[in-house]
Amino acid sequence: MRKDAKAKEFLRNPERFADAFNYYLYDGRQVINGSDLQEKDTEEMVFAGESRGSAAYRRQRDLLRGCVIKSDGRATYVLLGIENQSDLHYAMPVRNLLYDALDYAGQVKRTADAHSRNRDVHSADGFLSGFTAKDRIVPVITLVIYWGDKEWNAPKKLSDMYTDMDDSIREYAGDYRINLITPHDIDDFEKFHSELGEVLEIIKRQKETGLAESMLEKKGMEWTMSRSAVEIINCFTNSKITVGSEKGGSVRMCRAFEVLEERGEKRGIEKGIEKGIEKGIEKGIEKGIEKQLVTLIIKKLIKGKPVWVIADEVEEGEEYVSGICAIASEFAPEYNV
């Protein structure tokens, strides 16, 4: 429950919320802007029956926003919902279908209530339902974000949950498909334009021994992430990355990644970083940074880059880099770190 609450708080940020839908709906194109999102009540209650004493159905979503999407010369108002999953859910199609159905039923109910107050429905058909031929409902798109690194092998549509049936019957049985983002299935994290993509990439690759090196090469040694992003990483990878107050609350990732590197290489994700805790996290991290920095310098040395260029790229003093290069040259061509 704590994990889902953390994920909900992380995605409450409008830019991250919009980023998730831009990735899923538009392959990363920036169509939905965070500034265009309108927060909506996440609780929906619908009464079944004609009287207020009838059974009430109530469900509360994680996040729900209204948005005008402008694409291909058209403007469409939609409701966008996000449901966070820290674990596989084998009845997710039914759960999401219920959320969407309650949203639609709520829209119909509010329209009928408005007609009742205004006394503007005069046809027998419209009076019976409270909904006229001219009334319309707003489309609802619910997106499930699974925060695990495993493959989602749970049902993705309602028909995946059906018992065996004759094909002639299946054709007439209603279906419902969930919209799903799962790190395991993402190939190009550059399609994200917020920290959401970086968090999902780390979750997917958390067990890789070369995670720190490849990410730091791509992002640079000065790469930082927000405290909330690091807290999400901690939640879903069982890491113990400290979130200090450097740089206005951001975390320098060259420090943070060493924690994941040690876990992936030596003990695996389940055992965490017990050894690092026993010996002192700071000492272990510093040692890991040094090793990572030396590795990067040697890579650049092998490419034939001069000392001053290497020093500039890794943002260290020339004297320090020169010393490492001199020692490394003695171990050519193996360059044993």
Instruction: For 179-209, write each residue's pLDDT tens digit.
Output: 999 999 999 999 999 999 999 999 999 888 7
Which of the residues in the chain have pLDDT under 50?
A: 51-52, 266-273, 276
Q: What is the pLDDT of residue 34?
A: 93
62 exposed, middle or buried (CB, 10 Å; 0-12, 13-18, 19+)?
Answer: buried
Q: What is the pLDDT of residue 271?
A: 47
Q: What is the pLDDT of residue 8?
A: 92
**Identity (one letter) of the amino acid at 174?**
G
Q: What is the pLDDT of residue 278?
A: 53
Q: What is the pLDDT of residue 58?
A: 65
Q: What is the pLDDT of residue 88?
A: 93
The model's pLDDT over 225-264, given as tens digits with 9 standing for 90+, comes to 888 898 899 889 887 777 665 555 688 787 666 655 555 5
**Phi and psi torsions of 135, nearest 5°:** -75, 150
Question: Distances in Å between the alpha carbon of 104 and those of 67, 101, 136, 161, 185?
Answer: 16, 5, 10, 23, 30
